[in-house]
Amino acid sequence: MALYAGNDAFHAKTSAFLKWLRERPRTTISRKLEITDLRDHNAGRGIVAVEDMEEAEELFSITLSDVLAVQNSSLQKVKPHLLEHLDSWNSLVLVMMYEVRLGKESTWWNYLQILPNDFDALIYWSSSELAELEGSAVLKKIGKDDADESFKKSLFPVVQQQPEIFGRHAQDFGGSSACAVLLNLAHRMATLIMAYGFDIGKKISSQEDDEEEQADGSSQSADKVNKGIVPLANSFNADGDLNNVNILAELVFGLKIDLDDGMLIPRKRSGVTVMVRRITRNGVDIETIIFAASKHNQLNDREQATRLELAATWEVLQDGYDLRRPPESGSFESDQSLILTITALLLDTDAAKQATARIRTPNQPPPFLLTTLGLVLKEIISHRQKAYTTMLAEDVALSEDLSLQRRRRMAIEVRLGKKEILSWQLSESTK
């Protein structure tokens, strides 16, 4: 039962968005669909079926010219020089900032009105909230400081140069708080792109160019990978437990959403409920692997470099590897890149010379290393387990507390999922 007032702005914005979308040329939406209020599921708006559907049935279609993208924005037409020296990522961030500040004058105004303002992305977490993820490799991948520097270097000079492009909001980008305003807005746009953006494999054209496309989808413009925000698409899989579609980019007549008989949650969907079973991997960095292998094969710096060069020759050397959750069906296969990197670090001098001379990548470790390799894997898993400040059983108990704040629950579920992977991997390594 909904906990929200029936007269709140949520439903009015939904209706205005659907009216706008249905009025777009060549846009089609299946009569079997409706947008429903999933706020009780912490998921905002979501698409649900009101009738049974056939497999691979088309659910909706939208033209490329209606995708919120750099090439479709009026900024590209009125101030193209502002985008000339920006990469595709910062270009789209700037375009979205511009469209948001246009207000009702923006083509996408009704769509922008239903996009969220609050996020659970890690860049918005407090230090105490992030502390709940201690032990997880994800803490090294937040990248907020790098993003700040990128926005300051690429976007701040642009908005300072011509703040008037933001109309009545130009004053926001002046004075001592200008940089803070920019970073706040740029992070929101970047988060929306990360959550709802699609890679469009071909240069997005204007509406006129759409009409000039050949029947096979080809055109005179050069191919270029772009990213765009597709109206309505983010409402599919708003809650992964309730929705189940496969999002496909079709370049002939637009973007189509087709039903899929398997679960596919689009990359980094904002609002998707964090569930333990969806945590499918636990990362291990190369330093941990080197440390664990050194307990069974001590190498000096030169010898270690030689073994890593061998792993690189085999094309298996990486900065990090994954310990994976077993599939729900079918056989489990270990990460061969991880196994062969450990193998290279365990080879003695003669074996390493022979492997280097053979050049080709082995299909599996030599039999005489299998026992030691299992011990190294056990050491790696043990090292990862010690990185967490709580035990698996503690997190299981904590996850059952219904009074937990949302972000703390998310962190506990992430920890729990990753620890389950380690526990399973440990049992496999001892077989």
For residue 276, being part of any structural domain is answered with: no
End-of-domain residue from the set 190, 225, 260: 225
For residue 275, being part of any structural domain is answered with: no
Q: Please, which residues have CB within 8 angstroms of residue 431's CB and are 6 or more apart in sequence?
A: none
Do 150 and 236 share a domain, yes or no?
Answer: no
Q: Please, which residues have CB within 8 angstroms of residue 345's CB and are 6 or more apart in sequence?
A: 289, 290, 293, 294, 297, 299, 304, 307, 308, 311
For residue 290, being part of any structural domain is answered with: yes
Do 104 and 221 share a domain, yes or no?
Answer: yes
Q: In Å, how far from its chain's centre is CA 169?
A: 31
Do 359 and 252 share a domain, yes or no?
Answer: no
Q: In Å, how far from its chain's centre is CA 29?
A: 26
Do 305 and 402 share a domain, yes or no?
Answer: yes
Residue-level pLDDT, tens digit, the chain, 431 residues? 344 445 578 889 999 999 999 999 888 888 888 888 877 776 778 777 778 877 777 888 888 889 999 999 999 988 999 998 899 899 999 999 999 988 899 999 999 999 988 888 888 888 999 999 998 888 887 888 889 999 999 999 988 888 888 877 788 887 788 899 899 999 999 999 988 888 775 544 444 444 333 322 333 333 345 788 988 887 765 444 444 444 443 333 333 333 333 222 222 333 323 344 467 888 999 999 999 999 999 999 999 999 999 999 999 999 999 998 887 766 667 889 999 999 999 999 999 999 999 878 999 999 999 999 999 999 999 999 999 999 999 999 998 898 999 899 989 988 999 999 999 998 887 76
For residue 413, being part of any structural domain is answered with: yes
Give the three-state DSSP class for 281: strand
Do 309 and 423 share a domain, yes or no?
Answer: yes
Do 101 and 178 share a domain, yes or no?
Answer: yes
The pTM (predicted TM-score) of the whole model is: 0.71
Do 38 and 81 share a domain, yes or no?
Answer: no
DSSP 8-state secondary structure symbol assigned to residue 71: G
- Please name the amino acid found at residue 171: Q
For residue 312, being part of any structural domain is answered with: yes
Asked if 198 contacts 227 with a C-beta cutoff of 8 angstroms, the reply is yes
The count of domains in the chain is: 3
Reference 232, options 6, 26, 33; nearest CA is 33
Asked if 62 contacts 232 with a C-beta cutoff of 8 angstroms, the reply is yes
End-of-domain residue from the set 244, 269, 294: 269
Q: Looking at 197-335, list the stretches that DSSP marks H as alpha helix, in order from N- to C-terminal side.
A: 207-212, 286-294, 301-313
Do 95 and 40 share a domain, yes or no?
Answer: no
For residue 14, being part of any structural domain is answered with: yes
> How far is it, in rounded angstroms, from Cα 222 to Cα 127?
46
Asked if 400 contacts 262 with a C-beta cutoff of 8 angstroms, the reply is no
> How far is it, in rounded angstroms, from Cα 95 to Cα 78?
12
Do 129 and 238 share a domain, yes or no?
Answer: no
End-of-domain residue from the set 225, 242, 261: 225
Do 204 and 97 share a domain, yes or no?
Answer: yes
Give bridge partners of residue 247 from the DSSP assignment: 257
Structural domain harbouring 212? 68-225
> How far is it, in rounded angstroms, from Cα 232 to Cα 225?
21
Please report, for the domain that includes residue 376, its CATH number: 3.90.1420.10
Asked if 99 contacts 112 with a C-beta cutoff of 8 angstroms, the reply is yes
Do 78 and 220 share a domain, yes or no?
Answer: yes
Edge-to-edge strands, sheet with 28-29: 28-29, 58-62, 255-259, 245-248
Do 128 and 207 share a domain, yes or no?
Answer: yes
Question: Burial, 17: exposed, middle or buried (Cβ in 10 Å; 0-12, 13-18, 19+)?
Answer: buried
